[in-house]
Structure 1
Amino acid sequence: MNLRCLIIDDEPNAVSLLEMLIVQTTQWQLLGKCYNALEAMDFLKKNTVDFLFLDINMPHLTGMELAALLPRETKIVFTTAYAEHAAESYTYQTIDYLLKPITLKRFVAATQKIEAAFAQLPVTAPIPSPTAAEPDAGHFFVKTGKTLRRVLLNDILYFEGEKEYVRLVTSAEELLVYRRLKDIESQLAHPFVRVHNSYIVNTQLLSKVQDNHIHTGSKQIPISEKFRDGFMAVINKRLF
Structure 2
Amino acid sequence: MSLRCIIIDDEPNAVNLLEVLIGQTTQWQLAGKCYNALEALDFLRKHPVDFIFLDINMPHLTGMELAGLLPPVTKIVFTTAYAEYAAESYSYNTIDYLLKPITLKRFLAAQQKIETAFEKTTPMQVQMVDNEPGYFFVKSGKTLQRILLDDVLYFEGEKEYVRLVTPASDLLIYRRLKDIDEQLNLPFVRVHNSYIVNSKHISKVQDNHIYIGTKQIPISDKFRDSFMDIIKKKIF
Query: Which residue does the alignment assign to 1:40?
Result: none
Q: d(CA) in 1 for partners of 2:166 and 2:155?
A: 9
Relative CO higher for 1 or 2, CA cutoff 8 Å, sep ≥ 6? 1
How far did 1:235 drift?
1.2
Q: Work out whether 1:12 is the aligned partner of 2:19.
A: yes
Task: State which of 163, 188, 196 in structure 1 corresponds to 2:184.
Answer: 188
Q: Deviations over 1:60-86 (max 9, x none)?
A: 469xxxxxxxxxxxxxxxx94159869
Taking the aligned partners of 2:22 and 2:111, their CA distance within structure 1 comes to: 19
Aligned equivalent of 2:148, options 152, 164, 173:
152
Residue 196 of structure 1 contacts residue 222 of structure 1 at CA under 8 Å; is this kept in 2? yes
Is 1:208 matched up with 2:204?
yes
Deviations 1:23-45 (A, max 9, x none): xxxxxxxxx86126xxxxxxxxx
RMSD: 3.5
Structure 2 CA distance for aligned equivalents of residues 16 and 145 of structure 1: 29
For residue 14 of structure 1, what is the amino acid of its counterpart?
Answer: L
CA distance in 2, matches of 1:9, 1:212: 35
Does 1:35 find its partner at 2:30?
Answer: yes
* Alpha-carbon distance between aligned partners in 1 of 2:201 and 2:214, rounded to the nearest angstrom: 12
Q: Which runs of no fewer than 5 residues in structure 1 stay unpaired? A: 1-5, 20-31, 37-56, 63-78, 93-129
Equivalent residue, structure 1, for 2:124: none
TM-score under structure 2 length normalisation: 0.52
Q: How many residues get paired?
A: 147
Name the CA shift for 1:145/1:176 in 2 (closer, same or farther; >3 Å).
farther
Question: Following superposition of structure 1 onto structure 2, how do residues 50-199 of structure 1 map, counting pairs within 5 Å?
Answer: 58-59=51-52, 60=74, 80-82=108-110, 133=130, 137-144=133-140, 147-199=143-195
CA contact (8 A) 1:138 1:152 kept: yes
Tell me: CA distance 1:9–1:15, structure 2 relative to 1, closer, same or farther (3 Å).
farther
- Could you tell me how far 1:191 is from its partner in structure 2? 0.7
Whether contact under 8 Å (1:196, 1:227) holds in the other structure is yes
- Structure 1 residues 156 and 131, CA gap change in structure 2 (3 angstroms): closer
Counterpart contact for 1:132–1:186, Cα < 8 Å:
no
In the aligned structure 2, how far is the partner of 1:150 from the partner of 1:80? Answer: 38
**For residues 196-226 of structure 1, what are the alpha-carbon distances to aligned partners after superposition, in whole Å with 9 as ceiling and x for unaligned?**
1111000011111111211112201111111
Between the aligned partners of 1:189 and 1:15, the Cα distance in structure 2 is 45
CA–CA distance in 1 between the matches of 2:207 and 2:149? 27
Check conservation: 1:142, 1:148, Cα contact below 8 A: yes
Contact residue 128 and residue 136 of structure 2 kept, 8 A: no
Q: 1:61 to 1:142 in 2, by over 3 A?
A: farther
Maintained 8 Å contact 1:7/1:15: no
Q: Which residue of 1 aligns with 2:230?
A: 234
Q: Indicate the SS of the match to 1:182.
A: helix
Q: What percent of counterpart residues are identical?
A: 52
CA distance in 2, matches of 1:169, 1:181: 13
